[in-house]
Amino acid sequence: INSKGTKLNKYQIFAATWRKQVTISNHEIIKPIVEKYEKLIQQGFMVEHYSREDMFKEGMEFTLFEYLFGLGKYLSKRFPTLFGKYDIHKADSTDSVGFNLTTICLNLAIKKMANLQEKITQHNLDEFERAMVDAIEFVDESLYSLLSFKAHRKNKKDKGDHIHHTEMQILSLIATAFHLKYDETLSVRESWKDNQKILRTNIPMYYLYDVLREDWRGSGDTKLKDMVLRPNLEETSRLLQPISRVQWENILNEWFETQLNRSETKRVVVQDKEILFMKYIYKTILTHEESHSSYQIDHVYAVNRLKQAASAGTGLPISCVANLAMIPESLNKQKGDKTFPEFFDQKVKKKEWTTQMVQTQRETIKHVIFSDPVDVDIPKVAKKDTITREWYVNQLKNRFKLIKDIFFERVVQ
């Protein structure tokens, strides 16, 4: 009948139809609810029965929708590495994470979310919330040192703290940890003592593995259900099984071959997967302090020189992972489009550096590109670059082999 009306999304429907009332002990969950209503009031809306002072009174009741709304905002504030930074400008928008996480932790598939108000009565809300947050903390601790490692790019606003995962991927890790630790009564399982050690090792590995495979493209609802809500999770969870070297070899080689097929000529984009992989490699080489302040991710072979060669042919895989490295920021800015050997020679000729200073810098570069700087020089004829696709691809293959050696030696346990 009302064909021109605006269709409600599922959260708006829940807000209108759920009647379950809950009390919220955690004031950090109440605060985003208040922020939402305050923003609506500032926009000229009237919020029925709303009083800022009453919101924090003991025993104050909220709807289940309000609780899950506030929970999502609270989680973003507390765990930005997992859920993205909280945006005060979107204080009135509904985040899905609180709804989805609660649903899967209550043994419901996402498509069964409408049944939440009946399911949530099975537990004391405070105890259930503490168990959920405990599982989030476990995953956050397992991934934090990697995800917080900076790999910022030269002249880019992105400072290397981009979220690489989808919401469903991170929820699969959290919900698996939740169900492996807690039984239906929220008691800690006896098997958790052993399983938590396995998860601490495997969670970072599966995180990267799934990102490289693009395993969570699309909504991921069904995949989340299949991974978490399965019989005998303690025996069947993939997270309790290590990823074999053969599996790693297959996915890394497939990923690399895909990159070699790129034909970039003008627009060069370093994709999220390359940056994430670099974090895993350089986390074993640089300190967090170095990644935050004195190093940046950039191309070993300068983009502008590769573009010149690419424009004369069918393009080159300029932003291939094998052409990336974490380079000292001050040196990277000084050398510009020069190769490392060219830059060192210039410094000596101008008498700005001694041979000893060059040797020191050469060792620094060798440490982060995994070979002598001479190995990444560009061939010339009559002072002009002679970059061919065959030569460049061969260089990338050689360097990717070095990178894989580092990965298997230092990252895979």
pLDDT at residue 161, rounded to an integer: 59
pLDDT at residue 3, rounded to an integer: 52
Token pair of 309, please?
């060669």
CB 325 within 8 A of CB 301: no
pLDDT at residue 390, rounded to an integer: 95
Question: Residues 293-346: pLDDT tens digits?
Answer: 889 999 999 999 999 999 887 899 999 999 999 999 999 999 999 999 999 999
- Integer distance in angstroms from the first to the last C-alpha of the chain? 62
pLDDT at residue 110, rounded to an integer: 95
pLDDT at residue 236, rounded to an integer: 95
Is residue 4 scored above 60 in pLDDT?
A: no
Q: Write out the H or E segment, with its range, that includes residue 384.
A: strand 384-385
CA dist., res. 160 & res. 194, Å (int):
34
Q: Among candidates 368, 373, 371, 379, which has minimal Cα distance to 401?
A: 371
pLDDT at residue 267, rounded to an integer: 78
DSSP secondary structure, 243-305, as one string: PPHHHHHHHHHHHHHHHHT--BSS-----HHHHHHHHHHHTTTS-HHHHHHTEEEEESS-HHH
Question: Residues 204-227: pLDDT tens digits?
Answer: 999 999 999 999 988 789 999 999
Q: Where are the beta strands (DSSP E) in 11-153?
A: 21-23, 61-63
Is residue 405 scored above 50 in pLDDT?
A: yes
Split at pLDDT 50, 70, 90, the class of 1 is: very low
For 303-318, letters b (16+ CB in 10 Å) and e give bebbbebbeeeebbbb
Is residue 388 scored above 90 in pLDDT?
A: yes
Percent of the chain as helix, strand, coil, to the nearest 5: 60, 5, 35
pLDDT at residue 47, rounded to an integer: 79
